[in-house]
Amino acid sequence: MTKPRNYRLTLLSAALLMGLAVGCNRDNPESMIASGKDFLAKNDHKSATIQFKNALQQNPNLGEARFLLGKALLDSGDMAGAEIELRKALELKYPADLAVPPLAQALLGTGQAKKIIDEFANLDLPAGEPAASLKTTLSLAYLAQGNGEASASALAAALAAQSDYAPALLTSARSRASNKDISGALTVVDGVLAKSPNNHEALLLKGSLLAVQGDQGAAFEFYRKAVDAKPDFLPAHSAIINSLLQQGKLDDAAAQVDALKKIAPKHPDRKSVV
């Protein structure tokens, strides 16, 4: 009877040790980063942010975690926090072609157009999305500074780097709309939506263009589609509320405001993690 009992104890001990090993493995920075990436793929930026912060608590010098945290903060609307983390990623030698484009977007989101131009106007990134993204942001930065010629040149460079880059195309559509070419702008937006039907920026822009044409009903439907594509997309929620107010549907507008309060993410602490 002693031998079977000892055998069972041995198996139990081995199982406990394996459980502890698995538990420890789940708590290491690499597994936290992997978990955060999974959350990002599901557009769960809040949970992703928590995982990346946890990884950085264990090792503050993880360039990938800094970069991913910066991206998550950017996507959730915390531009200042995103700038901090993306700059730290660059300090840790994370590739500039990956970190600079979202950093430029974060700077634009905090109104630092001049800083974007000063830091990145002469930076050459690899052709394709990295260059297209940075040049698109530079185009908007120049526009904010009142330099229309430089803005147009940067936008042309963005489209030359990647002709189907959606943010550049949508910037082009907005430029057409500002010059009262609404039909041309709609043609560009429809081209984006043909390739990416759930592009929330394109859906919102199409709704806005339809509203300019006077088709408020169709515009409202596209605002809804934009929210369906990205539930925390605040500009689309604002467009819905404004549309309801214009229609005199005050109760519906109030209900939409209440819904927005529940789903709008609170900005994370803007201080660095470590």
- The tokens for 180 are 């009262």
| 138 domain residue, yes or no | no
- Region 45-66: mean pLDDT is 94
**Cα 162 to Cα 135: distance, rounded to the nearest angstrom:** 11
The pLDDT tens digits for 140-188 are 999 999 999 999 999 999 999 999 999 999 999 999 999 999 999 999 9
Domain boundary, last residue among 72, 94, 116: 94
Residue 195 domain flag: yes
Q: What is the pLDDT of residue 263?
A: 73
What is the per-residue pLDDT for 27? 76
Does residue 223 sit within a domain? yes
Q: pLDDT at position 220, please?
A: 96
What pLDDT was estimated at residue 5? 56
In whole numbers, what is the pLDDT of the chain averaged over residues? 88
Q: State CA 238 to chain mean position distance.
A: 18
pLDDT at 268 over 70: no
Residue 170 lies in a domain: no
Q: Is the pLDDT of residue 68 over 80?
A: yes
pLDDT (tens digit per residue) in 201-245: 999 999 999 999 999 999 999 999 999 998 888 899 999 999 999
Considering the chain, what percentage of its residues have pLDDT values greater than 90? 76
CATH number, domain of 86, equals 1.25.40.10
Q: How sure is the predictor about 8, in pLDDT bands with cuts at 50, 70 and 90?
A: low
- Predicted TM-score (pTM) of the model is 0.81
Report yes or no on 166 lying in a domain. no
Is 33 a residue whose pLDDT tops 50? yes
Residue 21's pLDDT is 41
pLDDT of residue 13: 54
> What is the DSSP code (8-state) at residue 264?
S
| Total domains, the chain | 2
Residue 192 lies in a domain: yes
| Percent of the chain that is helix, strand, coil (3-state, to 5) | 75, 0, 25
Domain hosting residue 74, numbered range:
30-94
Q: Is 196 helix (H, G, I), strand (E, B) or coil?
A: coil
